[in-house]
Chains A and B, each alone.
Chain A
Amino acid sequence: MRLVSWWVRRLVSAVLTLFVVSVLIFAASRLMPGGFAEVVLGPFATPEQRAAMSEKYGLDQSLFAQYGLWLSAALHGDLGTSLLSGEPVAGEFGLRIPVTVELTLLGIGAAVLIGVPLGVYTAVRAGKRGGGALGRLAGGLGVSVPEFVLGSLVVFVFSRYALGLTVGGYRPLGEDLGANLRSMVLPAAVLSVFAIAVTARTTRDAVMNVLVEPYITASVARGETSLFIIGRHVLRNASIPILVVLTSTTAYLLGGAVIVEHLFNLPGVGSYVVQAVGRRDYAVVQAGVLLAAVVFVVLNMLSDAASGVLDPRFGTDRKANR
């Protein structure tokens, strides 16, 4: 029963968060200087053309009315119409979401495949020669170098020495798998650096916390192999912080994808929303930010759910601690 009420509170909190985000993004998009009429119709447009455009898209109504219409439509699954292309925003997102999802999955995949083993290695080697230094170097560099700096460097280097990889030559996955991977490796690598570093650091701390537990000492005393101890005892017990950081990092990667997509000219949701901001294409901007908020909230809830599965005390403990 306590678990149910915890989940109800969680859902109410999520809905409230999304409501506040929707208000903020609507207000922010309308407060941007320069309107759609100036940007897209251009200076040559007559006042009549501007008025007709405003009326066509309901921009002549009060802000409250516009917000109400937008929210009502969004709740019914209608994200509006792109002011620029005249196409439904949901359809435009549908074309671009696969690119962003692929990029994010590659990034998080790299975090799991590289970050977790690196974290375990540095934890096991803590205090020994090389281990601590490697962890600090990887963690420090990965966390502190922003994507746009690293991305620009990668674009510069790999434009001269491509090594079979492409910069800016995106091909859809379904069209040509090889070409797709060649165009996605570099952006995914840039995007994953932060995730790898954070995952490695978290894994290292979590593993070190477990390594000092008495049952690990007992396992060693029983003569169990290091691999068995790590797989059987350490990772299982260190998994919740790793899972939490991977979930929050996934949300971060979706944000980082905006910059990486822009740098590498990948036609994903991020670059689409960035261009929409420049064009004051309100419907796209609002839908993009709302979508990001939904993904963030859902990922956090999934993280909590997964944590509960891994450790049944998770939700109830939180309640008990209050």
Chain B
Amino acid sequence: MRIRRFCTALAVVPLVASCAAQAVPEPTATQRPGYLAAADPALPPGGTVELQMPVDTGAAGGLDPQLADVAVSWQLMSLVYETLVTVGPDFEPLPGLAERWETPSPTEYVFHLRPGVTFSNGRAMTAADVVGSMNRLLAGEGVWRTQIGPVESVTALDPATVRFRLSSPYTPFLSALANTPAAVLPMTEVENGSVDLTKTMLGTGPFVDTFHRQDVLWRFKRRPDYWAPGKPAADAVNISIVPQEPTRIASLQNNSANLAVLGNVDAPQVLAGVRGVTVRAQSTTDFYYLMLNSNAPGGKFADPRVRTAINIAMDRAQIAQVATNGLGKPTGVTPVDLPDACDPATLPSATAGLDRARQLLAEAGVRNLKFVITAYATEPAPAVAQVIQQNLARIGIEVTIEQLDEGSWAGKVYGSVPAGFDAALSWFAGYAGAGMVAKWWNPEQAAFNLGFMKPNPELNRVIDAAAARPDGPDRAPALRELCTAVDTDAQMIPLVTRPVLVGYRHDSVSPTVYATEGYGNAFRGLADFRLVGRP
């Protein structure tokens, strides 16, 4: 009898608990246009924010921001390092370490440094640090050297003023300056050898890192002498590296994490109705793309007509809906959320129709084409590949999907020249300036593409022209021309943007998170985060 009662209780308690666990709406005070959430300044400062993210920095360049080439490194390093300018929620350049700037000509930028900025060792930041940092960046081997543009010289006009001269106009210059690899470094300490940037982070930012164990945990504490009054609000931030999505979800559910970066596009459904938890999809300018190897064995994609036919068969809206649960958006090479981005629905591939694709295959003499798409196993990449497989079946192409771990994938795609794969799926960070990512369509600039991509001089010309065209009415046509050229080349085919899910306990933290991100930095507003429920 007692056993029966116990079993009944076991069954009833979770049912009752789940009924009681109704969603508690997030306070409206934390919602603002352009933001997924905005920290409530009325909440008291202090406390420790507990965050979780799936991967740690993994660059061989260690902690040197100039050698960081992936968004997760920028995310972590940006807590310690700062840039001359930053980007707002609509990608507009905002003052950072430079409180203002002038552009006397399209090739000249003059930055006036913010007074009272110090590195975390207490030394004041000067124009010499800016000049030294930029010269180090330009002379180094980091990927951002290419993105920063055609910088000809960097000069200190006085201790608080720095002038950049470009060899030609470069519209994304301010956007490129806003990313962590362009951070201002403590050049005196770097040059006298007292700081090894690969092992130590020493910046002007709101936090200092006090502990790091690779793939386990980061601990940061607030800088009391940070230049922005009242920032950072939290005393400390712990960032746990939690590779398992279910564990991150569990931590949100049981309130052991305040905020977690999620990858599963079904996370909003999984966490729906969990008391105190909000899941928001952050749009990003990152996007998935399909590589068609022009050097593929058997010359499968050497004929541009075959590549074009494949591009036409891509149903980007379906990929977005099915593979990303409607959270991604169809895009061209200019990420669709950026100002002036081209409309992917107007691209030649989007308007041609499947009959044209079949006709192109016939003209190229291709029948019963079969090939393998190499995709890494991290979701939702396999789902994207599956939709592509179904898309291509409509024009008689048979696709086999090969799922690899990321190490094997990287080895197969980038490990040899010429590359031995047929097609591969990946994603690019889309950055914060329309046309920046297009640089990677020039394999002579982005050498990693040489194994599978043939240089296209006309495409290279259009890429450079789009970057040089100033903001204004002429820019949109230039970007449209860029999108069309990439669409026609079809060696790397942009597909859909890559959403990031941010889950947080609105009953324990009031975060600041942009609605759209260009540099994959979900923690961009961390200095504003406030904890809820503190006395």
Contacts and interface: CB of A to CB of B under 8 A. Distances in A.
B58 interface: yes
Interface string B39-59: 000000000000010000011
B58 A40 contact: yes
A173 to B, nearest CB: 15
B82 to A, nearest CB: 23
A85 B254 contact: no
Contacts of A87: 214
A278 B406 contact: yes
A160 B253 contact: yes
B247 A33 contact: no
Contacts of A155: 246-247, 250
A228 interface: no
A167 B256 contact: yes
A34 B410 contact: yes
B300 interface: no
Interface residues of A, number: 49
Contacts of A265: 240, 242-244, 247
Contacts of A156: 246, 250
A39 B414 CA distance: 10
B251 A169 contact: yes
A32 interface: yes
A46 interface: yes
Contacts of A95: 213
B533 interface: no
Contact of B448 (A34, A43, A277, A280): A43
A45 B14 CA distance: 52
B69 A168 contact: no
**A40, A92, A159: residue with the most chain B Cβ atoms closer than 10 Å:** A159
**A34, A92, A158, A267: residue with the most chain B Cβ atoms closer than 10 Å:** A34
Nearest to A43: B448
Contacts of A83: 60
A159 B14 CA distance: 12
Nearest to A92: B214
A275 B215 contact: yes
Contacts of A41: 59-60
A60 B256 CA distance: 45
B70 A42 contact: yes
B412 interface: yes
A279 B215 CA distance: 11
A38 B407 contact: yes
Interface in B447-506: 447-448
A286 to B, nearest CB: 16
A155 B254 CA distance: 11
A160 B17 contact: yes
Contacts of B199: 86
B415 A38 contact: yes
A47 B251 CA distance: 42
B266 to A, nearest CB: 14
A53 interface: yes
B405 interface: yes
A167 B409 CA distance: 31
Contact of A33 (B213, B216, B251, B411): B411
Contacts of A152: 246
A127 B319 CA distance: 61
Contacts of B358: none
A32 B247 contact: no
A50 B344 CA distance: 37
**CB-based closest 3 A-B pairs:** A34-B411, A159-B250, A43-B448
Interface of B: 13-14, 17-18, 21, 52, 58-60, 62, 69-70, 141, 143, 198-199, 213-217, 240, 242-244, 246-251, 253-254, 256-257, 274, 404-415, 446-448
5 contacts: A42-B410, A86-B198, A161-B14, A277-B407, A278-B405
Interface of A: 32-35, 38-49, 53, 82-87, 92, 95, 152, 155-156, 158-162, 166-169, 262-265, 267, 271-272, 275, 277-280
Given A166-B256, A167-B251, 9 more contacts: A34-B409, A34-B411, A38-B414, A48-B141, A53-B60, A82-B214, A159-B254, A168-B242, A264-B247
